[in-house]
């Protein structure tokens, strides 16, 4: 997981820096955020020092109920802990002496005018996106009937040409050549194109094509969850390819296993048609119907002498 520096958060949220001499190169490595109510109450066990701490109206009001000496003691105990920074919401004004104590311990303190709940929600989403595990793949990502289909294979195998045919059939391009994959949710991968390659693709013999300009805005989309992987490979006559669909292949990306279909490439095969049907079959499987299981069940009944016709709805 990558680390994010405090100065990037300060710039993104326009935070006010209380002490201009504080270190803004402190890394933030987790997306979780903490409101230190228990810590200010004196309970310091299980305190996660990796989290950004946020003080709002409730924490400030609680400190005001304590005597001056006790409140200062609790404040000192809190700022003596090691955490990336402290953010004070609603532009709440804390005693200047407390802020000086925080500065003396080199604790970065920031202010925001936002309400506590709204700020925490926005910052959590921001951190989850920035700190999410990610990788870049040499592949093509296309939205086929709502199924995020990642096409992989050796260079020159025909990934872009196949994607171009899918676009002409009405499907949408997400990324060509380079796909940035991010795991923002558990076992959910999202793909997008690098900014410089967005909406464009390279086809050997034609060069760079702007898909959005050629086919319209409906032919592209900025990002897409990845559901299915299609691996294109040169036809190998010595290799036994799956003919029934019994083999369940998976392709691992960032620790997530995605269903994968290996499609052998040879002259005369309509790859875009095969991929389109593979996406449709994926949706059918997700709805609960499996053609292989149905076929096996019919064969079993036939062997037992049951010739009744089954109607699939």
What string of DSSP letters covers the chain? ---EEHHHHHHHHTPEES-TTS----EE----EE--HHHHTT--TT--TTSEEEE-HHHHHHHHTS-HHHHHHHHHHHHTS--S-EEE-TTPPPPHHHHHHHHHTT--EEE-SS-HHHHHHHHHHHHHHHHS-EEEEESEEEEETTEEEEEEESTTSSHHHHHHHHHHTT-EEEESSEEEEEEEETTEEEEE--GGGTTEEEETTTEEEEHHHHH-GGGB-SEEE--EEEEEEE--TTS---SSS---EEEEETTEEEEEEEEEE-TT--HHHHHHHHHHHHHHHHTT--HHHHHHHHHHHHHTT--PPP---
Span 59-96, pLDDT tens digits: 999 999 999 999 999 999 999 999 999 999 999 999 99
* 8 A C-beta contact, residue 48 and residue 32: yes
Q: What is the pLDDT of residue 16?
A: 96
Give me the mean pLDDT over the 275-291 stretch: 90
> Which residue in the list 19, 90, 165, 177 is annotated as catalytic?
177
The fourth-level CATH superfamily of domain 134-295 is P-loop containing nucleotide triphosphate hydrolases (3.40.50.300)
| Domain residue ranges of the chain, discontinuous segments joined by + | 4-131, 134-295
Q: What is the pLDDT of residue 247?
A: 72
Q: What is the pLDDT of residue 303?
A: 83
Residues annotated as binding site for ATP? 153-160
Fold topology of 4-131:
3.40.1390
Q: What is the pLDDT of residue 236?
A: 80
Same fold, 4-131 and 134-295: no
Q: What is the pLDDT of residue 309?
A: 55
Give me the mean pLDDT over the 240-252 stretch: 78
Span 12-59, pLDDT tens digits: 999 999 999 999 999 999 999 999 999 999 999 999 999 999 999 999
> Which residue in the list 82, 138, 239, 301 is annotated as catalytic?
138
Catalytic residue list contains 250: no
Q: What is the pLDDT of residue 305?
A: 72
Residue 246: pLDDT above 80?
A: no
Catalytic residue list contains 177: yes
> Which residue in the list 159, 171, 221, 227 is annotated as catalytic?
159
Confidence of residue 283 (pLDDT cuts 50, 70, 90): very high
Catalytic residue list contains 19: no
**312 or 287, which is more confident?**
287
Give me the mean pLDDT over the 4-17 stretch: 96
pTM of the predicted model over 0.85? no
Residues annotated as binding site for Mg(2+)? 160, 202
Question: What backbone torsions phi and psi does residue 51 show, to the nearest 5 degrees?
Answer: -90, 145
**24 or 242, which is more confident?**
24
Span 183-227, pLDDT tens digits: 977 889 999 999 999 999 999 888 999 999 999 999 999 999 999
> Which residue in the list 25, 46, 69, 243 is annotated as catalytic?
243
Span 142-170, pLDDT tens digits: 999 999 999 999 998 999 999 999 999 99
Catalytic residue list contains 7: no
């Amino acid at each position: 997981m990558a680390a994010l520096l405090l100065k990037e958060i300060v710039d993104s949220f326009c935070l006010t820096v209380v002490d201009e001499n504080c270190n803004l190169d402190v890394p933030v490595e987790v997306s979780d955020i903490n409101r230190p109510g228990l810590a200010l109450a004196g309970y310091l066990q299980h305190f996660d020092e990796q989290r950004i701490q946020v003080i709002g109206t409730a924490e400030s009001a609680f400190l005001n109920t304590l005597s001056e000496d006790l409140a200062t003691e609790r404040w000192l105990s809190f700022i003596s802990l090691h955490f990336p920074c402290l953010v004070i919401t609603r532009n709440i004004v804390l005693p200047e002496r407390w802020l000086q104590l925080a500065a003396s311990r080199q604790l970065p303190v920031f202010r925001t005018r936002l309400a506590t709940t709204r700020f925490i929600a926005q910052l959590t989403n921001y951190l989850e996106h920035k700190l999410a595990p990610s990788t870049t793949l040499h592949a093509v990502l296309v939205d086929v009937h709502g199924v995020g289909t990642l096409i992989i294979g050796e260079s020159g195998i025909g990934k872009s040409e196949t994607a171009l045919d899918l676009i002409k059939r009405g499907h949408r391009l997400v990324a060509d050549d380079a796909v940035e994959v991010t795991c923002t949710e558990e076992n959910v991968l999202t793909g997008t194109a690098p900014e410089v390659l967005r909406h464009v693709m390279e086809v050997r013999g034609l060069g760079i094509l702007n898909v959005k300009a050629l086919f319209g805005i409906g032919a592209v989309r900025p990002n897409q969850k990845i559901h299915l992987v299609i691996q294109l490979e040169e036809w190998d006559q010595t290799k036994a390819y799956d003919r029934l669909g019994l083999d369940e292949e998976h392709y691992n990306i960032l620790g997530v296993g995605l269903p994968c279909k290996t499609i052998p490439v040879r002259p005369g095969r309509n790859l875009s048609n095969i991929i389109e049907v593979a996406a449709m079959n994926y949706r059918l499987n997700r709805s609960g119907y499996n053609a292989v299981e149905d076929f096996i069940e019919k064969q079993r009944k036939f062997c037992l002498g049951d010739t009744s016709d089954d109607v699939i709805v």
